[in-house]
Chain A
Amino acid sequence: MTTDPTQSVSNNPSFQPPRKNLEFKFHGKGFEYFRIWIVNILLSILTLGIYSAWAKVRNKQYFYGNTELDGASFTYDAKPLKILKGRMIALGFIAFLSFISTVNPFLGILVPLAFIPMTPFFIQRSLMFNARYSSYRNVRFGFTGNMKDSMKVFAGWPLVMIVGLVLIALLLGVLGLPEGVAGGVGFILYMIVLVPVMFYQFKHFVIDNSLYGTEKFVLRARLADFVVVFLQTFGMAFLILFLTMLGAQLLGSSAFGNLEILMQDEMSPEEAGLLLLPLVAVFMVAGLFIAVLPYAFYVSWMNNLVFNKSSLADFEFRASFTVLSYARMHFVNIVMTVLTLGLFTPFAKVRIARYKAEHTQVLARTSLDQFVARQEQEVGALGEAVGDFYDLDFGI
């Protein structure tokens, strides 16, 4: 074993070598992952869900293992048995709660309320579990967010949001604005003030508490940055909505006008309907792409913000998602997934992972060799399992 004392990156601040761009690379192949995915599903069904814990690890490790940065790939090495145990506990817990609600209907009403304080707990545990079992160059990631902060961010702030919404409604009521205007103003205030505040809290909680080895990640994004992202997203969404309605009106009136002429020419409503089908298909495809656009705006701007303002020691991140390219990828994924009755799902996942890798970089001043591993204890999989159950997914 080597005994070289490893030098911490932060120990040499005076020296500023030129920056180097390190690219992420994704080596996964659609068909290769398809085979893993389909065998995972089959074995999960045949074992009545028991294999799903192994499937989960294999899925995740496939994406980690195929993601390469500076000649080394990432590792996800959670123990499936641990995940299975966590899932069993979660399942038992849910069974217990539903048993309670059948025995005593009054307690049954309280059961959903119990989930409010429990959600922050599960989120915090699953962030910890995921970080603990993710590593790069044999140095583990980590998560130090505590329960108190998790409560504040994932139960406190949503509560503040609800109170805020009520206050806005009351205020607008007092001002006596007409219903439509009040609703619009309330919605805009909610979306460009309260929602950004919540996301600001979420992202800072997740990133500022993340570790690689002994180094902390830092998110420098300010609240104003989040407000801008939501302002831009909603501005674009409304613009798209407006243009779409305008276009649909023009297109629709001419198309239906033609149809009316056809119907006057001895055509049964059934035949007219058949003629309409391709038109409806075109509308659906165009509509789908338009519906994907606001999502693409949000994902690319939010992702770029979070990465571009994140750093780890001397390393900075750069993301360059572009709205059109992201929308195109996502659109093809949805259409193909539906057309193939879901069989395209693994290909879609590989496409997303490749897109992310191709549009993310690390700016390095020093070598990635100098991070130091921590010594720490294991983390239970309960939070991870329940987080998985809720299908929670946090960037980074």
Chain B
Amino acid sequence: MNPSSFATDASRVIGHWYDGISSRQQDASLSIDPQGCVRIEVEGQTLLTCPLTALEISARLGNTPRALIFPEGGRFETRDNERIDQWLARWKPSPWAWVHHWESAWQYVLASVVLIGLLTWWVIVEGLPMAADKVAEVLPESVGEMLGEQSMQILDEYYFRPSRLTEAERQRVQTHFQRALDSFPELKLRVQFRDGGLIGANAFALPDGSIVFTDQIVALAAHDDELLAILAHEIGHVAENHSLRMVVRNSLLGFLLLAVTGDATISSDLLLAAPLFMLEMSHSRNYEASADDFALAWLRLNAVRPDHFTNLLARIEQSEACLPDLPAAKEENDEKEVDIKAELPYDLSCYQALARGEKVMQDEEVEGADSESESKSHKIWSYLSSHPQTEERLKRFRD
């Protein structure tokens, strides 16, 4: 073979030769003949010849240098990736060439982005809740009981005060509820009363079957059947195990985020928290809608008018005007924040007035305020609120 016959561009690449014995770097050229036999030349001398098929050739990876490793351990490195690809296509087709093809073609890259995006979306929106619900199902009952007890302790410590309803009032409501409570013996339902303080008129279902009614919501009800309707909604939460499912979902999601963003520093958690919060809110909106459906079905079955539910719901929204002023209370108690609740006034008259159908107005509220801009900002905030827009819910009950 005559070396000059290889001197054409297509059959020669230049690079470096490393013998594998020392770290010495030598300028070298590699040429190939039509039979696929390669020859290493350093300073005009032929070091080695060898068929291309006997070499181990590193996979193409971006524009990183390509290595051709000789059986004896020597290594030839070149940046001429294109030429090596041509040689391989002709003399030693690689079954892995498509990987680099995918990595260089924008169509595949775009498809990857879309596919991964869809998969991630599905995992978070469908897969994760599904898995969490399965986990929540198999968790022993004691977990729910523990969670319920703990939540009650926290609520009592920071928000609630002991109920100041008379024994007779409580007994009356309890008796009215008995029929509903008795129809779900397996849920271990217990009704409890508390002064809601800053929370105002509301009712809560805890995972252990406790259902808390605030004094304010009792005062706000014009008819005991209204409370019964709210009870049905809360039983819906307990029956469908919403709080436990929510807790498991959140911890799974947190775990997933940790696994994915493992190398993120603490500071990024702040920014991650926002979308997480939105997601939680949308989950809890679904739970509310589902508890509404549960309540509606039960009310129909027991011939309780569904508008009792909507009436009280509408009044709960109005009752925001009855909440005590926070800023004033806070300024007085700047030192000990926990004590805010102790300083709150206990006054149900505003709620009772609403129950009688009287209109209650907030001090700052001015008649004929720019109603358009107000409703707009309301819409934005309702997206963040855990309860679906009341109008939306009222509509479901009227249909």
Contact = CB atoms under 8 A, between A and B. Distances in A.
Interface residues of A, number: 61
Contact of A371 (B19, B23, B265): B23
A274 B381 CA distance: 9
Contacts of B108: 39
Interface stretch (B1-9, B133-141, B366-374): B366-374
A107 interface: no
A75 B62 contact: no
Interface string A186-220: 00000000000000000000000000010000000
Contact of A138 (B20, B61, B261, B270): B20
A137 B25 contact: yes
Contacts, number: 161
A373 interface: yes
B380 interface: yes
B4 to A, nearest CB: 24
A4 B23 CA distance: 12
Given A36-B103, A266-B364, A334-B264, A1 B19 contact: yes
Contacts of A287: 267, 270
B16 A71 contact: yes
B268 A334 contact: yes
Interface string B252-296: 000000001111111110111000000000000000000000000
A138 B267 contact: no
Given A1-B47, A284-B271, A370-B23, A62 B64 contact: yes
A39 B109 contact: yes
Contacts of B49: none
Contacts of A391: 262-263
Nearest to A271: B377
Contact of B24 (A6, A71, A335): A6
Nearest to A293: B267
A295 B42 CA distance: 49
Contacts of A42: 112, 115-116
Contact of B62 (A36, A71, A137, A373): A36
A139 B73 CA distance: 10
B71 to A, nearest CB: 11
A41 interface: yes
B62 A33 contact: yes
B177 interface: no
A38 B22 contact: no
Interface stretch (A109-117, A170-178, A337-345): A337-345
A36 B271 contact: no
Given A36-B62, A274-B377, A138 B268 contact: no
Given A42-B112, A42-B115, A61 B61 contact: yes
A61 B48 contact: no
Contacts of A371: 22-23
Given A370-B22, A373-B21, A266 B119 contact: no
Interface residues of B, number: 59
Contacts of B266: 291
A335 B18 CA distance: 43
A357 interface: no
A45 B116 contact: yes
Nearest to A58: B61
A73 B64 contact: yes
A193 B61 CA distance: 46
A1 B72 contact: yes
Contacts of B201: none
Interface string A262-303: 001010101101100000000010011001100100000000
B1 to A, nearest CB: 20
B75 interface: yes
Interface string B205-241: 0000000000000000000000000000000000000
Given A28-B62, A334-B264, A138 B23 contact: yes
A343 B113 contact: yes
Contacts of A342: 260-261
A72 B25 contact: yes
A27 interface: yes
A139 B380 CA distance: 63
A343 B266 CA distance: 19
A356 to B, nearest CB: 15
Interface string B46-67: 0110000000001101111101
B24 A137 contact: yes
B164 interface: no
Which of B25, B373, B380: most chain A Cβ within 10 A?
A: B25
Given A1-B47, A337-B268, A213 B23 contact: yes
A6 B22 contact: yes
A392 to B, nearest CB: 11
B102 interface: yes
A333 B113 CA distance: 20
A274 B374 CA distance: 12
Contacts of B119: 45
Contacts of A65: 61-62, 64-65
A295 B263 CA distance: 13
13 contacts: A2-B21, A4-B22, A61-B61, A66-B62, A66-B64, A139-B23, A266-B364, A270-B374, A271-B374, A274-B377, A342-B261, A369-B25, A373-B20
Interface of A: 1-2, 4, 6, 27-29, 32-36, 38-39, 41-43, 45, 58, 61-62, 64-66, 71-73, 75, 77, 136-139, 213, 260, 264, 266, 268, 270-271, 273-274, 284, 287-288, 291-292, 295, 334-335, 337-338, 342-343, 368-373, 391
